Chains A and B, each alone.
Chain A
Amino acid sequence: METLGYLMDGFGVALAPHNLMFALLGAFLGTLIGALPGLGPANGVAILIPLAFSLGLAPETALIMLTSVYAGAMYGGRISSILLNIPGDEPAMMTCLDGYPMAQKGKASEALAISAVASFVGSLIATIGLILLAPLLANFALTFGPAEYFALFLLAFATLGGITGKNPIKTVVAACIGLMIATVGIDNTGVPRYTFGVLELFEGVDFIIAIVGLFAISELLFFIEERAGGGKEKMKVNKLSLSWKDIREILPTSFRGGVLGFVAGVLPGAGASLGSFISYTLEKRVLGKKGYFGQGDPRGVAAPEAGNNAASSGALVPMLTLGVPGSGTTAVLLALLISLNITPGPLMFTQNADIVWGVIAALLIGNFLLLVLNIPLVGIFVKLLSVPPMYLLPIVTMVAFVGIYSISNTIFDLYFMVAFGVGGYVLRKLEIPLVPVILGLLLGPEMEKNLRHAMDISDGDWMILWDSGLAIGLWVFAGLGLILPYVVGPILRRRMRTPIEKGMPESD
């Protein structure tokens, strides 16, 4: 009941006119970002963070806007999957399987509408799950001591690649690079570290600059290499003729997909890609011969869409309650929280209750907004698909420049951003994932602080790090997170990849 009261307060925050306006703006921009080729959700949210800053938005407004962008991007990703057979991001892959055949049969607008409804159902289930689960998990997390937190951070890194990840050691290398960058600057004993006497480095490396550089600038360079070229040919979108019966038919599918997706989203190491994969395969099993999956079955569109949207809301659970994001996009949202001076984690539920519940309420509202936006406005988003990346990406880069410049008005930050962009390009070429680098940058200070507290408590005895049952459990899971990809990864990956060709943007 307490939760319900908080949620009501949350609706009070989220329904304030200016918050509602920014939610709408965010939902629109998010769908746009998701639909545009070459701009994944993590990218989109990253570029918008500096703008949210320089606008001087209140913390809850900024968060509401960017959460809506996040939700919107997940909706938008399906548009290019269905119409162009090009998934906007990795979780949208499975939608191609039946979405594109549907579009080829001249049922593009039905496929779009069905996927919008399925996304809505998936997100709704997951948001309800979030409302029920988050306070419980937050309460539980209050029992964590510094040693448990240290182990939890390790777990976050270890599972970041996901059990479908390719080479976990590269995740470790990436995490180390991120953590190392995080140690630059004056530490909390007052000793300057790795500053080389450069004044700009004394305050440390601003992770927003790093994120925008790593995502946006490296994306530009990647596109140049792949010969961006002109826009893709547009699929004709027919007039929508969807009856209630069609919607009713996909509801059970969406429901199952939503529940599975939510679970996949909450669990460390699973994430949205696996969420949509599991939902699709399960649906295929459940329906068996009755379905015609792979040839444009509406349920084959609904299942993965419900799954990936549910997973992306589910991924907010560990981010909000533990301060440990499980995906690139939630890591970027965490960056926003930290830079707004809000410490994510269990205490946020008591200290910043209005913000947390405002965001959760905004997710619910954003969902309705997105459904309403998506069915009539789909034509606009479809038109945008034909914007050629050769015009789009330079403009996106310019927006990134403006955003970073407007935070501090210094040119030094821009050079830094370009440097991160080049670095990000090289790392991606080497198949070193970027998300652990960012997570390292974000969690580095907290991780060191917890290590220090743990050591202070134990008076320098390293055994404290695995002294409690909980801590041991976390260590074991972290270990599994690194070992499992070697064992089950290849099998799962093969099954996920077989139907689809490669070449996804880096993000999820």
Chain B
Amino acid sequence: MTFNDRIFGVLMIVLAVAYGWAATQFPEPFGGAESVGPDTFPKLLAVVLALSSLYLIVRPDPDNAWPWNRTGIELIIAVVVLLLYALLLQPLGFIISTTLAVGTLCWRMGAPPMNAYITGAVSGVVVYFLFSFALDLALPLGLLSFLEMN
């Protein structure tokens, strides 16, 4: 099967065309046109990308299998966990969000849940204290901010 490279090649040609077209829409730089304007280099790239993508479509490599099964779901879970980690880092604070994120990732990767969340909590607390005391960098405390020493 050689669908991957073909589809990717088509997508890249679309990208190259869109990218090259956008380059033609740049306003002329202040002080008039030059021999190499802001659009020259992007246009060059668009041409090279389009040509090499064309080659991919014509002579594709054999496919690697995509994980269309449980593993795929695990992957999506992992990405969602990472996004939630970023989202909750400030509101929940570093320690709590790390416990949840690292714990969930360890658990989903096959660790027993208890061990997983303990790993998360320990790593969160260690890194937090390492950062705030040894390295003097503030990480958000979030929900735990009542513990803050003033």
Contact = CB atoms under 8 A, between A and B. Distances in A.
A166 B64 CA distance: 15
A435 to B, nearest CB: 17
Interface residues of A, number: 62
A225 B86 contact: no
B35 A459 contact: yes
Contacts, number: 166
Given A193-B42, A391-B111, A418 B83 contact: yes
A391 B119 contact: yes
A411 B86 contact: yes
A470 interface: no
Interface in A175-215: 176-177, 179-180, 183, 187, 189-191, 193-194
Nearest to A394: B105
Nearest to A189: B29
Interface in B18-37: 19, 22-23, 26-27, 29-31, 34-37
A224 B67 CA distance: 11
Given A394-B102, A394-B105, A406 B137 contact: yes
Size band of the B side of the interface? Answer: 35 or more
A8 interface: no
A176 B52 contact: yes
A189 B38 contact: yes
Contact of B52 (A173, A221, A397, A430): A173
Interface string B76-113: 00110011011101100010001001100110111100
A221 B102 CA distance: 14
A234 to B, nearest CB: 19
A402 B97 CA distance: 12
Residue from A190, A401, A429, A460 with most neighbouring chain B CB atoms (10 Å): A401
Interface of B: 4-5, 8, 12, 15-16, 19, 22-23, 26-27, 29-31, 34-38, 40-42, 45, 48-49, 52-53, 55-56, 61, 64, 66-67, 71, 74-75, 78-79, 82-83, 85-87, 89-90, 94, 98, 101-102, 105-106, 108-111, 115-116, 119-120, 123-124, 127, 131, 135, 137, 139
27 contacts: A54-B137, A176-B16, A176-B45, A191-B29, A193-B22, A194-B19, A220-B105, A224-B78, A225-B74, A395-B102, A395-B119, A398-B98, A398-B101, A399-B127, A402-B127, A402-B131, A415-B86, A421-B82, A425-B75, A430-B4, A430-B5, A431-B61, A432-B8, A452-B36, A455-B35, A455-B36, A459-B35
